[in-house]
Amino acid sequence: MKIIVNVTPKKTVLDPQGAAVGHAMEQLGIKASSDVRVGKTIEFEVSSEDTPAFRVQLDKLCKDLLSNPVIEDYRYTVS
């Protein structure tokens, strides 16, 4: 099964890269409707069943390795 993890700065954390992208968008004539946030996407495949125990492992992986829970939020999709 395929896992896609999206990691973004928390809304309360300053995102200078997002601010720079938002400013560049304005220079190109595109007005962003809300704050621009820049994050990262991690994709991988596993040979496991989508069970509650697997979701616990996936949350631990996201918290301990793929994100910094102090300044970042994460969400994932399983397909």
Tokens for 48? 């496991």
Single-letter amino acid code for the residue at 36: V
Contact 71, 12 (CB under 8 A): no
**d(Cα 76, Cα 39) in Å, to the nearest integer?**
13
The tens-digit pLDDT sequence of the chain (79 residues) is: 999 999 999 999 999 999 999 999 999 999 876 789 999 999 999 999 999 999 999 999 999 999 999 999 999 999 9
- pTM for this prediction: 0.87
Nearest to 40 by CA among 62, 55, 24, 19: 62
Phi first, then psi, for residue 78 (nearest 5°) are -120, 125
Predicted pLDDT at 58: 98
Q: Which domain holds residue 25?
A: 2-78
Structurally, the chain folds into a number of domains equal to 1
E strands present in 2-79: 2-9, 40-45, 72-78
CATH number at 38 reads 3.30.1280.10
